Structure 1
């Protein structure tokens, strides 16, 4: 059955939450450990008893929390409201509700809480983390029929915390990928990446070139592809000691896209690929999960795993899905 746009929206945010939760367990770990986790736990669905610190499996992190806050700000304002969203970003940090976070996002949230205007609070370059991109998925569905508005909003919501144009381009790429995936059309990776390249070219031209390079890596097996993607855009010295995907926006966004394009019709395989490489895997799996969920819809997610997602005992899958349905009416 072909999912409705409403169910694709629900699939995207719940898919993001599930990818996030699966990756959160092994965030920052080596490729070897993450591959073993995928083979021994994720693929067979044996995750019920695992936990990270005080968090049992199902807890998702700031990736999904901030995407959810963006959707709530839309619902409240009836559209994109950067001031309202900025207030929510400040509040979730100042009230201690955030679960895991990047330094640049925390710095921006602190400035917002201190009264700095939303369009001045973002951490300036060269901070180019993936905090803008990880939460941009809903924008691709809220502005599904207006590519120019999609790009503008994805960039603007990202600048609240990250003012580096590379971060903005990453946000546009993820929003655009969710938009394309939700159309339900056959996925040709060359066409898919060409459309994203056009969408991002007005934000940061070099990002277009990275997307074009990715088109030649999709056919490579994951270990070989990771060797290329993990170092894209990173200065040589910064890559020393890293065999995994870092929180830097370019490789993490490219790896999420690669994971989806390898297996566009399998949510679990997509998320498994995103995690198995190691590194910032809660974010790569969250972004890949948002794209995949938009394609397969809510019914295409592994139900038993999806039922486990939550945020400290609240905001379960059904709550996220209901929020998505309400936002779908605005899109």
Structure 2
């Protein structure tokens, strides 16, 4: 039985919350510690006693909070309203409801709370964190039938906190990936990457090149593939003296 649109939305946000909660415990930790967490705690089902600071296991973070706020802003405005969403971003920080956050997102939220317009408040380059991408999943469902609008909204919502085009491209890629997954059709990895490359090509040129490189790593063991992915772009920055 094919899922309804409501079930797709529920699956998207609940799936994000679950993955977020699993990872929040070790977010920002070393690869070795994260690996040990998966092997020693997650797979044996021994996670209930783990906490992160004052938060018990199962707490999701700002990643899911800001995706949730994006969906709620759609409901409130009857569509995408960047100014309305920006107000929600500012409020969740200023009211102390945020759970974990990146520096660039916090800086942008502070500027929004101080009255800086939404299209000027985003942290400028070279800050290129994943804050834009972490909340972009719902956009892939909300604009499933309009790829141009999907890309435009994913980029715009991301610029509220991050103005680096690399962050914008990441947001478009995540929204596009959710859109592809929700179709319920078999996914060929080459077609998948080609579609995402087309979606992001107008946002940040190098991002398309990085996506195309992923096709060569599909057959690798997860650990080896993750090593390659984590180093993408770093070599070039070091050659330019920016590493």
TM norm. shorter chain > 0.5: yes
- CA distance in structure 2 between the partners assigned to 1:327 and 1:42 by the alignment: 39
Distance 1:187 1:76, change over 3 A: same
5 Å-filtered alignment, 1:229-248, equals 229-234=229-234
TM-aligned CA deviation for residue 170 of structure 1: 0.3
| Cα-to-partner distance string for 1:276-304 (whole Å, 9 max, x where unaligned) | xxxxxxxxxxxxxxxxxxxxxxxxxxxxx
- CA distance in structure 2 between the partners assigned to 1:329 and 1:67 by the alignment: 35
Note if 1:327 corresponds to 2:239.
yes
Q: What TM-score do the two structures reach when normalised by structure 2?
A: 0.94
- CA distance in structure 1 between the partners assigned to 2:216 and 2:36 by the alignment: 27
Higher relative contact order (CA 8 A, sep 6+): 1
Kindly indicate whether the alpha-carbon contact (under 8 Å) linking 1:21 and 1:61 is maintained by their aligned counterparts in 2. Answer: yes
Distance 1:154 1:329, change over 3 A: farther
Distance 1:122 1:326, change over 3 A: closer
- CA distance in structure 2 between the partners assigned to 1:94 and 1:48 by the alignment: 31
Kindly indicate whether the alpha-carbon contact (under 8 Å) linking 1:142 and 1:328 is maintained by their aligned counterparts in 2. Answer: no
TM-aligned CA deviation for residue 2 of structure 1: 3.0
| Cα-to-partner distance string for 1:215-257 (whole Å, 9 max, x where unaligned) | 11111112211221111112xxxxxxxxxxxxxxxxxxxxxxx
Q: Which runs of 4+ in 1 moved over 3 A?
A: 325-331
| Cα-to-partner distance string for 1:90-111 (whole Å, 9 max, x where unaligned) | 0011111111111111111011
TM-aligned CA deviation for residue 327 of structure 1: 45
- CA distance in structure 2 between the partners assigned to 1:142 and 1:91 by the alignment: 23
5 Å-filtered alignment, 1:66-77, equals 66-77=66-77
Distance 1:123 1:179, change over 3 A: same
- Runs of at least 5 residues in structure 1 that lack an aligned partner in the other structure: 235-324
| Secondary structure in structure 1 of the residue aligned to 2:16 | helix
- Runs of at least 5 residues in structure 2 that lack an aligned partner in the other structure: none
Q: Which has the higher helix share?
A: 2
Equivalent residue number for residue 158 of structure 2: 158
| Cα-to-partner distance string for 1:160-185 (whole Å, 9 max, x where unaligned) | 01111110000000000000000011
Kindly indicate whether the alpha-carbon contact (under 8 Å) linking 1:142 and 1:327 is maintained by their aligned counterparts in 2. Answer: no
Distance 1:328 1:107, change over 3 A: closer
- CA distance in structure 2 between the partners assigned to 1:147 and 1:14 by the alignment: 24
TM-aligned CA deviation for residue 329 of structure 1: 49
TM-aligned CA deviation for residue 49 of structure 1: 2.0
Distance 1:330 1:154, change over 3 A: farther
| Cα-to-partner distance string for 1:77-130 (whole Å, 9 max, x where unaligned) | 010000000000000111111111111111110110000000011111111110
Equivalent residue number for residue 258 of structure 1: none
Aligned residue-pair number: 241
- CA distance in structure 1 between the partners assigned to 2:239 and 2:18 by the alignment: 20
- CA distance in structure 2 between the partners assigned to 1:57 and 1:326 by the alignment: 38
